[in-house]
Amino acid sequence: MGKSFSTVLAVIVVVLGFVLAGSVFTVNETEQVMVKQFGKVEKIIREPGLNFKIPFIQDITYVDKRVLNVVTQREEVVTSDQKRLVVDSFARFQIEDPLLFFQSFGDLRLASSRVETILNSQLKQVLGSEILNKIVSGERSNLMNKIRDQVNAETEKRGISVVDVRIVRADLPQANSQKVFDRMRTQREQEAKEIRAEGAEIAQSTRARADRNRTVILAEAKRDAEIIRGDGDAEKNRIFADAFGKDKDFFAFYRSMQAYRESIANDDTTMVLSPDSEFFRYFDGNATRPDE
């Protein structure tokens, strides 16, 4: 009897061990768990730690809590100004509501495929309403936020939250690249010609203005010089007149000395004059006044 009791006790311990093992589960930091009872979700556990469930009645489903990536296939987009772009993009999403997620998709592979489809659709819709320059300029960030919000409007009702959308590349198709390059080069050459023409016009205007100012300045300088020269001549004549009035003999002598200096300034000067010419009167030590 003692042996039978030990056997029954051992069986009970084993059964309790199985029951205990089936009632304890662990939730990791990267997971969230749905506890279902007869197919109905009883609760959702998002905090990490050790938890319990009713064995054989309740079962659990693990759901990833991390931010996940989905990369789209290259898509060709036609912009509002009829330019073609080949766009590479990706999205990052997180499962916010495990129940809605499983009701909508059932598994992560189908969910990723659905997010990619929605992202491609919104990408074409948003970029197709914008011009090329806006897409490739600094406004791309605003466009990505707009795409993210519109994708979220579709995925949030399915338990998924898109936290980020990025356009990795936005390139022109190879066939259009050379045409766009040629057109941009032509536009830049035209702008350069216009700038050079404007510069030549400004230079011509500046030169004409400078020449006009130079002519005015020279004319004013010549006028002022003539006025000063006239004033000087008048002052000279006045001084000569005053000097002649004060000492006629000295003035006559001074004027004769000037005439001598100017006439014999050069070494080859030759003068033919009469010895008794008035011009040489001061060479005679007995020179008399002109009026004597």
- The CATH number that applies at residue 109 is 3.30.479.30
Assigned domain for 204 exists:
no
**DSSP letters along the chain, please?**
-HHHHHHHHHHHHHHHHHHHHHHEEEE-TTEEEEEEETTEEEEEE-S-EEEE--TTTEEEEEEE-S-EEEEPPPEEEE-TTS-EEEEEEEEEEEES-HHHHHHHTSSHHHHHHHHHHHHHHHHHHHHHTS-HHHHHSTTHHHHHHHHHHHHHHHHGGGTEEEEEEEEEEEE--HHHHHHHHHHHHHHHHHHHHHHHHHHHHHHHHHHHHHHHHHHHHHHHHHHHHHHHHHHHHHHHHHHHHHHHHH-HHHHHHHHHHHHHHHHTSSTT------TT-GGGGGGSTT---TT-
Given 33, 48, 64, the domain boundary residue is 64
**Quick one: 37 and 125 in the same domain?**
no
pLDDT in tens, 222-259: 888 888 988 888 887 777 777 666 666 666 677 777 77
What does the pLDDT look like over 171-230, one tens digit per residue? 766 655 566 667 778 888 888 888 988 888 898 888 888 988 888 898 888 888 888 988
Top mean pLDDT of 20-24, 99-103, 147-151 is at: 147-151
Give the integer Cα–Cα distance in Å for 118 and 93: 12
134 shares a domain with 108 = yes
On whether residue 201 sits in a domain, the answer given is no
Average pLDDT, the chain: 78
**Domain boundary pick from 148, 172, 196:** 172
Residue ranges making up the domain that contains 28: 17-64
To the nearest whole percent, how much of the chain has pLDDT over 90? 1
Q: Is residue 181 a part of any domain in this protein? A: no
Query: 43 and 119 share a domain?
Result: no
156 in the same domain as 104:
yes
Model-wide pTM > 0.85: no
- Tell me the mean pLDDT in the region 162-169: 85
The percentage of residues in the chain with a pLDDT greater than 70, rounded to a whole number, is 74
Q: pLDDT digits over 105-132, tens only?
A: 888 888 888 888 988 888 888 888 887 7
Is residue 276, in this structure, part of any structural domain at all?
yes
Q: How many residues appear in the chain? A: 292
| Mean pLDDT of the region 57-78 | 82
Whether residue 122 sits in one domain with residue 52: no
As for how many domains the chain has, the answer is 3
Residues 38, 88, single domain; the answer is no
One domain for residues 60 and 152:
no
**Are 78 and 51 found together in one domain?**
no
Note whether 76 and 156 are same-domain residues: yes
